[in-house]
């Protein structure tokens, strides 16, 4: 089995990139590196930022002219969200993997057994989507709060995995659709309700994620 953690961080805006890069380097990347190998870590970045990631031991890939390759989702565009869903055919520099794990540049894995937790969901020959419930990490107060949103097998979170043969004709790329919908492209969908495995960070650079109810975690 080949495994890859995949993060999108292809920002042209220098201020936004610098903040995201600092957060990824300080919180997200160390939480991934605590998982049990073997796995590879990949970042979709702009070519001008490649060396910053390779210095961290991270592999990089690019999607030239990604705006021309992206899919629809007009409703998300109307809300001003950053939409960059592309097919795997648009990717340059990264091979296919049996297991892709999507994690945003400001998300954090809170347990070293995150990768192992999904293993009992994965069976040879079955194309499976696994998403994890999460907590909110408020970067300003350094406190964790319960997520009030309802996620499940039909509405997965942005921390998810796709398990499929890497030579499949209908191979699904982890960055090809919204986390709410991408599970519908797989044969099986699983949801880990335990919210102790990972957290999504709340900060001024979020596109849409906000804390609407501050329910502290025990």
CA distance 158 to 22: 20
- Beta 128-132 vs 160-163: how paired, if at all? antiparallel
Q: pTM, whole model, 2 decimals?
A: 0.87
Residues near 151 by Cβ (< 8 Å), separated by ≥ 6?
A: 131, 133, 157, 191
- Whole-number pLDDT of residue 94: 97
Read off the tokens for 165.
Answer: 């043969």
Mean pLDDT of 49-68: 90
Please give the radius of gyration of the chain, using alpha carbons only, rounded to the nearest integer. Answer: 16
- pLDDT-derived band at 189, boundaries 50, 70, 90: very high
Confidence (pLDDT) at 179: 75
* Domains parsed from the chain with CATH numbers: 3-131+152-193 (3.90.550)
């Amino acid at each position: 089995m080949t495994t890859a953690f995949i993060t999108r961080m292809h920002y042209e805006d220098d201020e936004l990139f610098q903040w995201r890069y600092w957060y990824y380097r300080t919180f997200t990347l160390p939480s991934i590196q605590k998982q049990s190998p073997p796995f590879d870590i990949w970042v979709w970045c702009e070519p001008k930022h490649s060396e910053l990631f390779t210095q961290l031991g991270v592999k990089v890939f690019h999607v030239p002219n990604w705006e021309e390759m992206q899919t629809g989702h007009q409703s998300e565009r109307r809300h001003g969200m950053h939409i960059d869903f592309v097919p795997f055919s648009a990717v340059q520099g990264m091979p296919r993997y049996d297991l892709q794990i999507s994690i945003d540049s400001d998300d954090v894995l809170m347990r070293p057994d995150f990768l192992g937790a999904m293993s009992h969901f994965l069976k040879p020959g079955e194309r499976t989507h696994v998403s994890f419930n999460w907590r909110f990490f408020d970067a300003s107060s350094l406190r964790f709060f319960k997520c009030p949103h309802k996620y499940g097998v039909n509405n997965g979170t942005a921390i998810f995995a796709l398990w499929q043969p890497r030579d499949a004709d209908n191979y699904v790329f982890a960055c090809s659709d919204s986390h709410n919908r991408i599970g519908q492209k797989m044969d099986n969908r699983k949801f880990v309700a335990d919210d102790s495995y990972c957290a999504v960070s709340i900060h001024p650079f979020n596109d849409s994620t906000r804390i609407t109810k501050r329910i502290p975690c025990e």
